[in-house]
């Protein structure tokens, strides 16, 4: 009988809230939070290696969107940088149907998406700057896949781990993933102990002091 348990950093991070992961990254002086990118619904959650996609405004040549999808492996989280544009979409219903069917983990967009009902029906995790119906076809063009992106000052390499939930999305550098998981798990444990202590009758002030709450983000700097 195979009793092997996946204890990889990605698997461990998938069990943690982005709030604790963000705190852990703060403690190491790392910036990975993707400000302004939110889930379509609070129930969406995903964790997986980044598959990066870069768009730019289309020139004289007709632009296309979505052709990269054939190359995305199952379990990956697609990260699309459309330079934060909210006037044209780079993700719609056809892409959602295909991605969901192929077991792709989700999509995070520095830009907007459309065909929201399809994402909700498929329970396919989408994170973006909002929704807008205007197509990006012939308005944007695909210029690179699986290259490093820079979104809001956060550099994202294809090997990095994307974590996203109701609080938003962030990118965990692969080289630090294990350490960040260690710290985030410790933060979760400490916060659970604080809650238990207060429920047992200790004041919040005392429980936080006893368990070092105010130092959680600074211990590892």
Q: pLDDT digits over 123-178, tens only?
A: 999 999 999 999 998 899 999 999 999 999 999 999 899 999 999 999 999 999 99
Residue 136 belongs to some domain of the structure: yes
144 & 186 share domain? no
Which percentage of the chain shows pLDDT scores above 90?
75
Q: What pLDDT was estimated at residue 5? A: 65
Question: d(Cα 177, Cα 219) in Å, to the nearest integer?
Answer: 17
43 & 139 share domain? yes
* CATH number of the domain residue 129 falls in: 3.50.30.40
- pTM for the whole structure: 0.90
The dihedral formed by the CA atoms of 122, 125, 130 and 131, expressed in degrees to the nearest 10 = -20
Question: d(Cα 199, Cα 103) in Å, to the nearest integer?
Answer: 42
What contacts 15, CB < 8 A, 6 or more positions away?
A: none
Among 172, 188, 205, give the residue marking a domain's end: 172
Q: Provide the number of structural domains found in the chain.
A: 2
Higher pLDDT, 104 or 199: 104
186 & 168 share domain? no
Q: What pLDDT was estimated at residue 192? A: 85
Query: For the segment 84-115, what is each residue's pLDDT rounded down to a tens digit?
Result: 999 999 999 999 999 999 999 999 999 999 99
**Sorting pLDDT into bands at 50, 70 and 90, what band is 198?**
confident
Question: d(Cα 109, Cα 125) in Å, to the nearest integer?
Answer: 11
Residue written as token pair 């991070």: 13
Task: Calculate the alpha carbon distances from 212 to 92, 125, 188, 219 in Å.
Answer: 46, 35, 13, 10
Q: What pLDDT was estimated at residue 113? A: 96
Q: What is the mean pLDDT of the chain?
A: 90
Tokens describing residue 93: 């219903």
Residue 168 belongs to some domain of the structure: yes
Q: What pLDDT was estimated at residue 35? A: 96
CA–CA–CA angle 186, 164, 126 (5° rounding) = 165
- 63, pLDDT greater than 80: no
Contact 77, 103 (CB under 8 A): no
56 & 160 share domain? yes
């Amino acid at each position: 009988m195979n009793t092997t348990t996946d204890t990889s950093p990605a698997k461990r991070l998938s069990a943690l809230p982005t709030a604790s992961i963000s705190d852990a990254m703060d403690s190491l002086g790392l910036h990975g939070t993707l400000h302004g990118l939110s889930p379509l619904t609070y129930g969406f959650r995903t964790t997986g290696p980044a598959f990066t996609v870069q768009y730019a405004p289309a020139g004289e040549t007709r632009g296309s969107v979505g052709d990269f999808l054939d190359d995305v492996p199952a379990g990956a989280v697609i990260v699309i940088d459309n330079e934060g544009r909210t006037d044209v979409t780079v993700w719609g219903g056809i892409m959602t149907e295909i991605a969901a069917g192929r077991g792709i983990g989700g999509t995070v967009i520095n830009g907007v998406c459309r065909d929201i009902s399809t994402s909700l029906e498929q329970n396919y995790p989408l994170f973006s700057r909002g929704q807008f119906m205007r197509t990006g076809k012939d308005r944007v063009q695909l210029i690179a896949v699986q290259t490093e992106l820079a979104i809001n000052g956060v550099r994202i390499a294809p090997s990095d781990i994307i974590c996203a939930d109701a609080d938003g999305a962030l990118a965990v550098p692969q080289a630090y993933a294990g350490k960040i998981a260690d710290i985030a798990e410790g933060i979760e444990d400490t916060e659970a102990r604080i809650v238990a202590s207060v429920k047992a009758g200790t004041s919040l002030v005392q429980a936080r002091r006893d368990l070092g709450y105010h130092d959680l983000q600074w211990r590892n700097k």
